[in-house]
Structure 1
Amino acid sequence: MTDAEINAAIDRQIERNVLFYAEHPDEIALRLRALDAEWDIERALQANAAALGLAGSLLALTRGGGWLAVPAVVGGFLLQHATQGWCPPLPVMRRMGFRTAREIDVERNALKALRGDYAEVPKSGDSAARARAALQAARSGPFAGPAA
């Protein structure tokens, strides 16, 4: 489980991002492309585990069997994550700024709502109110679809 303080900091950053783009709607498309390229924490965890497992295996082959402890520990962490949804590297990675796929999707959907893709968000008015409405729409679940 991630520390509530870290989750709150990530939520505040998402809110700041959405507010910024509510004030700069011409830059939303660029941010959406960046979000499409952002690695979520699951992908980062898998890539990190694969790299450490491979490195430990190669070191075991070239430097001695003691290095087999590295892929064993990494495998144990992955098994723990698969069965419990948590493992020791996760809090460190969250502190580094890795977000869940859901957090990335909230920002993505809020920006799409600001852009006018969804009918739930007003297309004019105070940017802070529009940002709050976009975040509310993004967090409340699936959208009805593109605005008519």
Structure 2
Amino acid sequence: MAMEIETLPSTQSRIAQHTPDLINGEIERQIEANVNYFKGQDRETIQQRVIELEKEWDAQRILEVNLASIALTSSILGIISNKKWMYLSGAASLFMIQQAVQGWCPPLPLLRKMGARTGNEISLEKQALKNLLDETK
């Protein structure tokens, strides 16, 4: 008897899958508005925006750095101050595991609402701007 293994969503798609449609729609509209704005700009301005997009942190990276920072800080505080800080370190670690396995954790909706985009969303805008640059050659 073959055992079926449930496949997890890809890293690129799971954040968007776990974000409410309303927030995904807002992010998509913002990307469209950005591209439309740059349609009327000169090549240098568009190229500068592409450079900015290459430096933009995606939601996964922001989440990883924030949770790791919380875990590290609370661990240090637990060692030098009060052991109760270790609970915060444990919670942050659990959130990191949950994000890695399920593609969702409690801080994610807040990050998305604040406009943190996925790597795919950043790449979508970047590619649209590169297409504009190709059209203006």
| Shorter-chain TM-score range | 0.7 to 0.9
Moved over 4 A (4+): none
3-state SS of 2:57 partner? coil
3-state SS of 1:97 partner? coil
- Normalised by the length of structure 2, the TM-score is 0.83
Query: What is aligned with 2:22?
Result: 5
Q: Is the 8 A contact 1:25 1:114 kept in 2?
A: no
Structure 2 residues not aligned, in runs of 5+: 1-17
1:87 maps onto 2:105 in alignment: yes
Query: What is aligned with 1:104?
Result: 122
Which one of 39, 61, 77 corresponds to residue 59 of structure 1?
77
Structure 1 residues not aligned, in runs of 5+: 117-122, 125-148
Q: Percent identity?
A: 40
Alignment of 1:9-24 (within 5 A): 9-24=26-41
Q: Is the 8 A contact 2:68 2:93 kept in 1?
A: no
Deviation sequence 1:27-54 (CA, Å, 0-9, x none): 1111011101111001100110111011
- Normalised by the length of structure 1, the TM-score is 0.77
Give the root-mean-square deviation of aligned CA atoms: 1.3
Which residue type is aligned with residue 67 of structure 1?
Answer: W
